[in-house]
Structure 1
Amino acid sequence: MSQTYVTGFPRIGEKRELKFALEEYWAGKTDFEALKAVAKTLRNRHWNYQKERHIDFISCNDFSLYDIMLDTTVMLGAIPPRFENIDDKTDRYFAMARGDDDHAAMEMTKWFNTNYHYIVPELHANMNFSHVNISKIAEEFIEAKAQGVHPKINLVGPLTFIFLSNAVDGSDLFNLFDAVVTAYAKVLYAISSLGENIVVQFDEPLFAKTLEPKFLSLLKIAYERLGVVSPNLKIAVVTYFDRANEAVEILGNCPIWGIGLDFVYGEENLDALLHVNGKMLIAGVIDGRNVWKNNVSKTYNLLEKISEKIDAQQIIISTSCSLLHVPFSTQFEEKLAPEVKSRLSFALEKLVELEQINTLWEKQEKPEASACTQKAPSVKSSAIAYTRSSYTTRFALQQKALNLPLFPTTTIGSFPQTKETRAVRNAFKKGEITREAYEASLKESIKKCVELQEALGLDVLVHGEFERNDMVEYFGELLEGFAFSENGWVQSYGSRCVKPPLLYGSVSRKQPLSVDWSVYAQSLTDKPMKGMLTGPVTILNWSFVRNDIPKSEVAFEVARAIAEEVDELQRHDIKIIQVDEAAFKEGYPLREEKIKAYEKWAVESFKASIGIAWDQTQIHTHMCYSNFNDIIDTIERMDADVITIETSRSGNKLLKVFQKANYKAQIGPGVYDIHSPRVPSVEEMSEQIKAFLHVLPKEQLWINPDCGLKTRGWSETKAALANMIKAVHLAR
């Protein structure tokens, strides 16, 4: 009898219950016991959903109050020394994630090529990992058993943990390999006391990347040791997001029970199956990253290909990765057009798909090939001609037109969106207020925002984006080819959730996207007003994109629409236009051989979106949470005039990449972290600017927060920006 396996499950809740419980706790409205009660309710509910669909391998320890990497840091006792003075474990946990009045938060960055953010562990050469603690695991395991579930236990694998950590002392973290594996062995030994025949899932997505041979040798050492810790345990090593052929050759000879592979985004894994060597194969054939309904006949054919290379009794049918990356259920979608909703499959529906394909596979009932439900339109993939002059020529024209001071100050775009702002937008969407009343409210918010920026002394202003629910969803709502869910929320980090658009059809611009708001805001001030747009690559990477035509073709459709908006903005005398590519890096393939093709269409589509800009129109872009070492040449090819980046949690190591590459355009490093409610002092920001000037010439430097201010409160925003301006005056 074949079995089913879910790699991991969403934790935010079907109606974002965890988000609201966290935010009430952080606001002091509830205590920690109330938060724990919500978390327990969600875990039990999620286990029951999987039980109802007869899932054989259900996870515990895939749930977190903030982030699994942060939980792993705590489990291993790898608390950064700067947090050790916080006695209360809960306060310390959230201070590590979010910061507090006395502690800057730990760095946060993207989980491989997804839009999920993880907290980056801070390790140093002398760590001994002597305080291993599995209390969270044990608590959830016992809870699951009480619900009639014999759960597998999910752990971040040791190699992935080390690779994704930061060395705060500059040491080679792989010198800690023995200590980390020893700590994991202690974890396994403690887990083995919880019962018999416990499956422990080690997530090692690291091995879907192109890696140096040393990592493969360490993989062998790690799982030869961990695989024999206890006969009570069945060790499964799971990779996802791409192929992992080299790792399979190693793992096939390790004393482990199972190997998990992603056949949706790494069909090349078929070539590795000869090396499975009798292990159980956790075959990821149900797409865990996208929302389109499973093609049953295609999936069945894939299972047949797998079974040609290994015994069918070894196959466990699984999701390709954790379902963390998709919304909870389509059952809450009442307004989607039937032709769109009928194509969708969220987390709960994927459980049904898993059960369905498993039943067919068990009975050897091959389904008929399904007719294609999406008809590919003719796609206008030709790029708009790129006619901009060299950066040097543009810089001179822009300086003359804008007359900006040394260290120009700006923000990334959005300002705080209060409950009142959201309430007005929701009232308009529900038809409770007229368009005139809605627009009057927005204009009042914009007016106050412009007045605040002028009072603070910012040099380049923004309109605040009060009309926008999300930097991608807003534009999608105004473009043809997009649909929107009501409750399609996906966790981005902590309590932060996003609702990605559903890009299902041919994209075109039928109306202005932002022109009216930018023109109105510019009428209120003599200072330059930035037009704010989202770039084509980010729109794709933060949407669920149709999978019936190449992504590159869709990107050029979106780029053409953005280019039309750029042209209309500049014709309305908007002299600075920001085309954000916050998600440019996260779309990168994990395998080197696939990168060049991605870079080609990503750069060309971005340039297609800005190629219509006049030389005197200054083009900004924004990227966040990226390691730029390997893409600095690509960023140069994008040819923006100003790039703003996140550096507040990562020191100046990102800037040094730009220095080493002799990057000529202007750069706005984030001078403070907007993901924390903490307000940095003038002195702290002054030191940050001084540090920037050790890396960049003063003529290249802009000063700004590291990201948009949408999620912050007004009081902390005013205080932080005021301190930023004071620091800039000192620097000048």
Structure 2
Amino acid sequence: MSSSSSSPPPSSPRPPLPHLEPARASSVLGYPRIGPRRELKRALERYWHGDGTRAELLATGRRLRDATWHDLRAKGLTQIPGNTFSFYDHILDDALLMGAIPARFHELTRDLSPVDTVFALARGRADVSPLELVPLQGTSYLYRQPEFDDASELGLRPDQLLAEVARAREQGFEIRPVVTGPVSLLLLSKAAATAAPGFRPIDLLDRLLAEYEALLTVLADAGVTCVQFNEPCMTMERTPDEIGALRRAYDRLAAAATRPRILVAGEYGDLGDALPALAATGIEAIGLDLVHGWRSAANLADVPGLRGKRLYAGVVDGQNVWRTDKFAALDYLRELRTVFDDVVVSTSCTLLHVPYDVVAEPDLPEELADSLAFAEQKVAEVVSLAHGLVDGVSPRWRRLPELPSARREDVRARTARIDDNDKVRAPYSERAARQAERLGLPTLPTATLGSFPQTVQIRRARKDLADGRIDYAKYCDYLRAEIASVIRLQEDIGLDVLVHGEVERNDMVQYFAELLDGFAATRSGWVQSYGSRCVRPPILYGDVARPAPMTVEWTGYAQSLTDRPVKGMVTGPVTMLARSFCRTDLALPEVAAQLALVVRDEVADLEAAGTAIIQIDEPAIRELLPRRGADRRAYLDWAVGTFLLASAGARPDTQIHTHMTYSSLQVMQEAIEELDADVTAIVATRSIEWVLDALTGHTLTRQVAPGVYESRSGFVPDIDLLHERLLTAVDAVGVERLWAVPDGGLKSRYTWQLEPSLRNLVTAARRIRRAVAPDRRGSNKMGGEQVPGHGPGIGS
């Protein structure tokens, strides 16, 4: 039963709202939660592996929460956000706060603790697939996508949130709870497989609002004076109906009889038409991203109703690591103060997307470090600007320093010579025939998408190398042994196309950045990607050049161990751009062109070494897609051109693969076709649905590899499930253009988890081969089933 029944009747007297804070008001919209030394990651993995107790995990969470509150207050922040900590994902937490557990998890979670319920939905079990892992657009963060159907049961579960409020108060903190807003929570969700045809999660808005009203009541009863509802979906392009839903939602919540003040934050861009809709409601405060969604003070003054709100001015960038120009920011804030009586200096979004502290980076060049601001420094900037609004420019403020000299005239000259001919390959029909002859692959080839588990031995060897306990030659011995093990495993499983496992790579972007000029790597600059998965985004500060080949040695070694083709694996230029903290002194297309030339050279060296299949990974093209349609075509034009520049130098008989993130947007499907890759692998099991539509509608005409199971969970798909998914694709479009693959890399798995899944995948693919091509059986030296007219293999 919905807990909203505990809400007071409309006639209940509504307590007066608390007085507004004085000048010098400062806040942030959220804060990192993994711990400065990845304490949460280690605690999670100890618990998941059975080496730690639940009590120890919960204690780590409490220490991290407490440390954040104390740190923020010590820096002078006047308003401290709460409920920003999560053991896995805040969006999943907020769905569970509203009681949104999909029906397929009811039995699994019946007797679980709250934290284990989170893990069950996020990680699945061997026999239950988890919620889907999807990117939060405009960021590199991945969240577990809530599921709803028309019969979804809701019911507020506020105990953990109220316990945090109480714990903060015991320590002298009045926190502002942060919760995903109702409209974005539904727009970020998907229709469950059990939903009726045509059902959309937003159809549940009125039912969900009852739970949000109940939340407002229990927070007010607990003494909370302000709650922050994040509506990141409203900075994307939205329909009039969706804008209307936002207006209806906050009209209703603002009218709640008993509630705290409501702050609605629009993260990651401009609120657009959602801003006047929000300003027209009775909420008290609106948070604006004034970095990526800048508006003049005069423009904001013209928004009806906005001048009566408290304005959280997000002038400090929460998504990049460069210092704020405080002189320019203060001038802008002063303009805002001439229009708005009540301004709180804030960040553009949560600081979840940046590392903790630049002081922990002793290896960075001093002049580069002086240009950077991580979470700790960004909080200090917010507080300093808030004081500057009252006291004026501080004598301690410094102008932004010049970046280290990183201009490369040879790089600039080469990019200036790029023309359209550099982006054109031979026609696909010609390439396909020559690749088939060279590779001799069977119908419905099986493969993986690159990475294999990073074993304890390899992680230890990498650390020993960094600490000087072993030399590079000894480290290479470890790598060769691990690559040989990965090759043997894949041959035994029966995969048709192999990979070397990327055992030498700490991360798909950082590895390359450390080998390129123009990048700087951090030692402790960890950022959460999802769950316990953390990455260290490199800092791209200068012109990019490649001193030497980066992947040829290890790909060539792997190929020497087998007669089956081994894919060369290179991270694509747009993904390197998207998953780095990028310089701001050059336009993105210019930086991307430099990266494309680096990849183009690597492809040429792989080809020269005999590599017949090269995968240029571009999972992040979707991440940089502008949040509004008017800007998308221009972005995709240069993103596609960047990929073509990187790949078009390949010979016709070299098969170019790419690896993309799911997107049902028509403009993205068209862009995938324009990439002109020979084979496109697509992340997410649900991608198979739109891939079928795109193939049937002739949007995609090349070969495709729709991921048929999620590689990041412990769920092991059985043969029948994989056969059904593959057969659905075969029945829709035929078998000639399909590959059978998982939907992502296997780095986060263990061998005992990935091996049964891959064996089942190979068995399902072979079952289909026998059914659709019974006359094509026959062993070839590449381990597949010989297709008439195909050559004998890469070794010939």
TM-score range, shorter-chain basis?
over 0.9
The match for 1:166 is 190
The reply to whether residue 137 of structure 1 matches residue 157 of structure 2 is no
Q: Comparing 138-147 with 474-483, which one deviates more in the overlay?
A: 138-147
Which of 639, 652, 675 in structure 2 is aligned with 1:615? 652
CA distance in 1 between partners of 2:236 and 2:121 (Å) = 28
What is the DSSP-based 3-state SS (H/G/I as helix, E as strand, rest coil) of the residue aligned with 2:243? helix
Which of 534, 550, 554 in structure 2 is aligned with 1:513? 550
**How far is the alpha carbon of 1:62 from its aligned partner?**
1.2
The reply to whether residue 316 of structure 1 matches residue 338 of structure 2 is no
1:606-658 residue CA offsets vs partner (Å, 9 max, x unmatched): 11111111111100000134444431111111110001112325663454334
Do 2:323 and 2:400's aligned partners in 1 also have CA atoms closer than 8 Å? no
- Distance change in 2, residues 1:128/1:84 (3 Å): closer
CA distance in 1 between partners of 2:477 and 2:147 (Å) = 48
Do 2:672 and 2:700's aligned partners in 1 also have CA atoms closer than 8 Å? no
Q: Which runs of 5+ in 2 are unaligned?
A: 1-22, 770-796
CA distance in 1 between partners of 2:575 and 2:171 (Å) = 41
Alignment of 1:709-728 (within 5 A): 709-728=746-765
The match for 1:347 is 375
What is the DSSP-based 3-state SS (H/G/I as helix, E as strand, rest coil) of the residue aligned with 2:423? coil
The match for 1:178 is 206
Letter aligned with residue 32 of structure 1: R
**How far is the alpha carbon of 1:729 from its aligned partner?**
1.4
Larger radius of gyration: 2
What is the DSSP-based 3-state SS (H/G/I as helix, E as strand, rest coil) of the residue aligned with 1:438? helix
Do 1:649 and 1:673's aligned partners in 2 also have CA atoms closer than 8 Å? no
The reply to whether residue 706 of structure 1 matches residue 743 of structure 2 is yes
CA distance in 1 between partners of 2:74 and 2:691 (Å) = 48
Do 1:242 and 1:591's aligned partners in 2 also have CA atoms closer than 8 Å? no
Q: Comparing 379-388 with 672-681, which one deviates more in the overlay?
A: 379-388
Letter aligned with residue 166 of structure 1: K
What is the DSSP-based 3-state SS (H/G/I as helix, E as strand, rest coil) of the residue aligned with 1:381? helix
1:411-469 residue CA offsets vs partner (Å, 9 max, x unmatched): 10111111111111111222221221111221111112112211221111111111110
Do 1:67 and 1:493's aligned partners in 2 also have CA atoms closer than 8 Å? yes
CA distance in 1 between partners of 2:237 and 2:272 (Å) = 10
**How far is the alpha carbon of 1:13 from its aligned partner?**
0.7
1:206-244 residue CA offsets vs partner (Å, 9 max, x unmatched): 111121111221111111110121454100111021111
Alignment of 1:493-642 (within 5 A): 493-642=530-679
Alignment of 1:408-557 (within 5 A): 408-557=445-594
Which of 240, 259, 264 in structure 2 is aligned with 1:237? 264
What is the DSSP-based 3-state SS (H/G/I as helix, E as strand, rest coil) of the residue aligned with 2:504? coil
The reply to whether residue 370 of structure 1 matches residue 395 of structure 2 is no
CA distance in 2 between partners of 1:628 and 1:496 (Å) = 27
The match for 2:780 is none
Letter aligned with residue 442 of structure 2: P
1:4-51 residue CA offsets vs partner (Å, 9 max, x unmatched): 011001111111111111111111222212111100000000011100
1:705-730 residue CA offsets vs partner (Å, 9 max, x unmatched): 11111111111222221121111111
The reply to whether residue 29 of structure 1 matches residue 51 of structure 2 is yes
Do 1:318 and 1:354's aligned partners in 2 also have CA atoms closer than 8 Å? yes
Do 1:105 and 1:649's aligned partners in 2 also have CA atoms closer than 8 Å? no
CA distance in 2 between partners of 1:457 and 1:504 (Å) = 44
CA distance in 2 between partners of 1:729 and 1:546 (Å) = 48
Which of 385, 392, 415 in structure 2 is aligned with 1:381? 415
Letter aligned with residue 145 of structure 2: V
The match for 1:156 is 180
Which of 301, 325, 347 in structure 1 is aligned with 2:331? 301
Letter aligned with residue 189 of structure 2: S
The reply to whether residue 266 of structure 1 matches residue 290 of structure 2 is no
Which of 6, 24, 46 in structure 1 is aligned with 2:68? 46
What is the DSSP-based 3-state SS (H/G/I as helix, E as strand, rest coil) of the residue aligned with 1:92? helix
Do 2:217 and 2:258's aligned partners in 1 also have CA atoms closer than 8 Å? no
The reply to whether residue 255 of structure 1 matches residue 282 of structure 2 is yes
CA distance in 2 between partners of 1:15 and 1:8 (Å) = 18
- Distance change in 2, residues 1:101/1:334 (3 Å): same
Letter aligned with residue 187 of structure 2: F
**How far is the alpha carbon of 1:521 from its aligned partner?**
1.2
Alignment of 1:329-340 (within 5 A): 329-340=357-368
Do 1:249 and 1:272's aligned partners in 2 also have CA atoms closer than 8 Å? no
The reply to whether residue 74 of structure 1 matches residue 96 of structure 2 is yes
CA distance in 1 between partners of 2:593 and 2:377 (Å) = 31
CA distance in 2 between partners of 1:675 and 1:437 (Å) = 31
Do 1:108 and 1:649's aligned partners in 2 also have CA atoms closer than 8 Å? no
Which of 289, 310, 314 in structure 2 is aligned with 1:280? 310
**How far is the alpha carbon of 1:532 from its aligned partner?**
0.5
CA distance in 1 between partners of 2:686 and 2:52 (Å) = 29
Do 2:219 and 2:259's aligned partners in 1 also have CA atoms closer than 8 Å? no
CA distance in 2 between partners of 1:626 and 1:559 (Å) = 23
Do 1:235 and 1:256's aligned partners in 2 also have CA atoms closer than 8 Å? yes
The match for 2:353 is 325
The match for 1:100 is 125
- Distance change in 2, residues 1:510/1:303 (3 Å): same
The match for 1:127 is 152
Do 2:447 and 2:740's aligned partners in 1 also have CA atoms closer than 8 Å? yes
Q: Which runs of 5+ in 1 are unaligned?
A: none
Do 1:18 and 1:495's aligned partners in 2 also have CA atoms closer than 8 Å? yes
Which of 694, 702, 717 in structure 1 is aligned with 2:731? 694
The match for 1:216 is 243
CA distance in 2 between partners of 1:636 and 1:625 (Å) = 14
- Distance change in 2, residues 1:261/1:216 (3 Å): same
Q: Comparing 31-40 with 337-346, which one deviates more in the overlay?
A: 337-346
Letter aligned with residue 30 of structure 1: G
1:314-354 residue CA offsets vs partner (Å, 9 max, x unmatched): 11000110000001111221222212222111111111111
Q: What RMSD, in angstroms, separates the aligned Cα atoms of the two structures?
A: 1.7
Q: Comparing 602-611 with 711-720, which one deviates more in the overlay?
A: 711-720
Aligned residues: 728
The reply to whether residue 194 of structure 1 matches residue 217 of structure 2 is no
The reply to whether residue 290 of structure 1 matches residue 315 of structure 2 is no
Letter aligned with residue 220 of structure 1: R
Which of 365, 369, 388 in structure 2 is aligned with 1:360? 388
The match for 2:20 is none
Do 1:580 and 1:621's aligned partners in 2 also have CA atoms closer than 8 Å? yes
**How far is the alpha carbon of 1:402 from its aligned partner?**
0.6
| TM-score, length basis structure 2 | 0.89
The match for 2:778 is none
Letter aligned with residue 437 of structure 1: K
Letter aligned with residue 182 of structure 1: A
The reply to whether residue 667 of structure 1 matches residue 696 of structure 2 is no
CA distance in 1 between partners of 2:662 and 2:83 (Å) = 26
Q: Comparing 514-523 with 685-694, which one deviates more in the overlay?
A: 685-694
**How far is the alpha carbon of 1:381 from its aligned partner?**
3.4
Do 1:483 and 1:501's aligned partners in 2 also have CA atoms closer than 8 Å? yes
What is the DSSP-based 3-state SS (H/G/I as helix, E as strand, rest coil) of the residue aligned with 1:532? strand
The match for 1:59 is 81
**How far is the alpha carbon of 1:93 from its aligned partner?**
2.3
The reply to whether residue 113 of structure 1 matches residue 169 of structure 2 is no
Letter aligned with residue 381 of structure 1: T
Do 1:505 and 1:546's aligned partners in 2 also have CA atoms closer than 8 Å? yes
Do 1:459 and 1:527's aligned partners in 2 also have CA atoms closer than 8 Å? yes
- Distance change in 2, residues 1:408/1:257 (3 Å): same
Do 2:190 and 2:200's aligned partners in 1 also have CA atoms closer than 8 Å? no
| TM-score, length basis structure 1 | 0.97
What is the DSSP-based 3-state SS (H/G/I as helix, E as strand, rest coil) of the residue aligned with 1:652? helix
**How far is the alpha carbon of 1:694 from its aligned partner?**
3.4
The match for 1:147 is 171
Do 2:669 and 2:699's aligned partners in 1 also have CA atoms closer than 8 Å? no
What is the DSSP-based 3-state SS (H/G/I as helix, E as strand, rest coil) of the residue aligned with 2:261? strand
**How far is the alpha carbon of 1:659 from its aligned partner?**
3.1
CA distance in 2 between partners of 1:252 and 1:606 (Å) = 42
